Structure 1
Amino acid sequence: MSSPAPSAVVRRTLRRFRRNRRGSAAVEFALVAPVFFALLFAIIETAIVFFAGQVLETVTQDSARMIMTGQAQSAGYSQGQFKTYVCGKITVLFDCVNGLSIDVQSYPGFSGVSISDPIDSGKNFVPPNNYNAGGPGDIVVVRLFYQWPLFVTGLGYNISNLSGSKRLLTATAAFRNEPY
């Protein structure tokens, strides 16, 4: 008896392979898993960045109230003392000592407010280093900056606005000082 033709053996093997479904779920998961996990991590990182931005906004509003009511001026706060006060309100998310930058500027009226962009053309952060809390009735702009490190940018999702895979979080409060 002769052996079957090679093409018949191949056809029979392919039919048997096509009918056998064991392992197909593992293969399908291996194809879909990288995209799924990349998307999942991108969503988580975006949520954390938005949450950190909201925390920074809340801390800015709370800290600016110290200046608006004249408490910081009456106590003779320096920029370092004001930063220490702000850092006391930020507990978990931020490296306050090394990463937080504070900019407090005073103006005689709202029309004179001039705010510069702290990101230069090379996508580097140039921290403004001002602290002028003003007097009663002055217009004050308080800005807090934090360079947030990003991790998912290597997977093709990039929300960085600074070089080195970082996102500059900015929070601003503009107000007129109370007549203290």
Structure 2
Amino acid sequence: MSTEFGCAGDHRAGRPRFFARFLRDRRGATAIEFAILSVPFALLVFAILESCISFAAQEVMANITDDVARQLRTGQLKAATVTEDGLKTTICNKLQIIVAQDCKLQLMVDLRQYTAFADAAAAGFKIKNNDVQLTNGTIEVPFSTTAGAAESRNMLRVFYKWPVMTDLLAKSMGGNKTLHFASVTWQNEPFDN
């Protein structure tokens, strides 16, 4: 009779066997492991993609800055016609391959003439509250767009607030923008002013 209907003692003895079978059963382990590892894996993939896109944008901006500086150095862009809006338009037209909209709003341009390269080397900047402050030694200076004449020494600095696309990375960085920066220092060629 006890084999047919069971008794209370057999029922309690069945529980350890059930848990032992459950722990040995590996059919759902792959699904559980995938669920546990998929979130960190996705975060890692998004971080890699975000970094790659940001690095590519930085390199494109550096190349554009070099190209604009070359035009200024050779006299293709004349000092009399260079304005802040014109420089921003020139850079944004070339940066259009990566930036979709609001380029001029996120772009900051500083073009200066220096008497010596040592003066240009003393120029710096600080990042404060995700904003750029230009310095000359310890003195803060405003952004300028003053191109030099033939054979003058110049420096072009371009800053762009690049949007972080992944929300989780933006939250971990404390904002939704990261600053890209490019700088070129040169002496103009002896062109006709």
TM category, shorter:
0.7 to 0.9
Bigger shift: 17-26 or 38-47? Answer: 17-26
Q: Is the 8 A contact 2:150 2:190 kept in 1?
A: yes
Aligned length: 176
* C-alpha distance in 2 between matches for 1:9 and 1:20: 16
Q: Which runs of 5+ in 1 are unaligned?
A: none
Compute the TM-score of the two structures, normalised by the length of structure 2: 0.81
Deviations 1:93-138 (A, max 9, x none): 2242221111101101101113231412x34334752101111111
Q: Which runs of 5+ in 2 are unaligned?
A: 135-141
Find the counterpart in structure 2 of residue 71 from structure 1: 76
Q: 2:181 aligns with which of 144, 161, 170?
A: 170
SS in 1 for 2:127: coil
2:110 is the alignment partner of 1:99: no
Q: Is the 8 A contact 2:73 2:189 kept in 1?
A: yes
Deviations 1:149-171 (A, max 9, x none): 2244635995x4xx523210001
2:38 is the alignment partner of 1:33: yes
* C-alpha distance in 2 between matches for 1:156 and 1:89: 26
SS in 2 for 1:22: coil
SS in 2 for 1:27: helix
With over 3 angstroms needed to count, the CA separation of the structure-2 counterparts of 1:4 and 1:17, relative to structure 1, is: same
Question: Offset of 1:5 from its aligned partner?
Answer: 4.3
Percent identity among equivalent residues?
Answer: 32
Code of the aligned partner of 1:116: G
* C-alpha distance in 1 between matches for 2:168 and 2:51: 14
Find the counterpart in structure 2 of residue 145 from structure 1: 159
Compute the TM-score of the two structures, normalised by the length of structure 1: 0.86
Larger Rg: 2
Q: Is the 8 A contact 1:148 1:169 kept in 2?
A: yes
Find the counterpart in structure 1 of residue 139 from structure 2: none
SS in 2 for 1:58: helix
* C-alpha distance in 2 between matches for 1:118 and 1:79: 21
SS in 2 for 1:93: coil
* C-alpha distance in 1 between matches for 2:112 and 2:26: 69
Greater share of helix: 2
Question: Offset of 1:80 from its aligned partner?
Answer: 1.4
